Amino acid sequence: MAVRALHLLGSPVLRQRSPEVARVDDEVRRFVADLFETMDANKGVGLAANQVGVATRVAVVDADDQRFAIINPKVVSTSGPREAEEEGCLSIPDLFAEVGRPARVVVEALDEEGQPIRIEAEGLLARALQHEIDHLDGILFIDHLGPMKRQMLVAKYKREHPDAGTVQARPAEPAARPE
């Protein structure tokens, strides 16, 4: 196991949609162990593969007393009201903003053994799952903000991290996604 370096806002891998894992094997399990160790070292509640520079559909989550890996995750459904809660991101240090997300989510994925799992979550776990799956799709929490708020936060980030690479804007998405 190893703590891997985090990729920060401006790193192109954070804006890529990660391809699926073809086969869950020992190499993938070692990578999952590295993700857990990196997440723990940085005091996170989740971490996606592209946050350590690896474009593959693998993430780990540790929230609401549940700790697991998700491989090739898919959001099957969301429900409940959109709840606005403060979010941050290990790849965008020191920035936080309220993000509205559905209260409940159902996710299907593979576990570390390559077995199918189905996770029905609400609260912090639902938020963490949606946040990490967004990462795997090249979406950052700031992309859920209005343009003015996003612009202010990115400007603040650039001031506080002048050595960061070029911060890439995410193209505007069509209106809200169906839920």
- Tens digit of pLDDT per residue, the chain (179 long)? 899 999 999 899 999 999 999 999 999 999 999 999 999 999 999 999 999 999 999 999 999 999 999 999 999 999 999 999 999 999 999 899 999 999 999 999 999 999 999 999 999 999 999 999 999 999 999 999 999 999 999 999 988 888 766 544 443 333 333 33
Q: What is the pTM of this model?
A: 0.90
Q: Which pLDDT does position 163 carry in this prediction?
A: 75
Alpha carbons 155 and 147: distance in angstroms, whole number: 12
Alpha carbons 55 and 38: distance in angstroms, whole number: 16
Annotation marks residue 132 as catalytic = yes
Picking from 58, 118, 127, the residue whose alpha carbon sits closest to that of residue 98 is 127
Q: CB of 136 within 8 A of CB of 113? A: no
Q: Which pLDDT does position 172 carry in this prediction?
A: 35
3-class secondary structure, 88: strand
| 101's tokens | 């997300």
- In single-letter form, the type of residue at position 70 comes to I
Q: Which of 132, 160, 173, 179 is catalytic?
A: 132
CA angle 14, 17, 23 (to 5 degrees): 110
Backbone φ, ψ for residue 152 (5° rounding): -65, -45
Q: CB of 85 within 8 A of CB of 98? A: yes
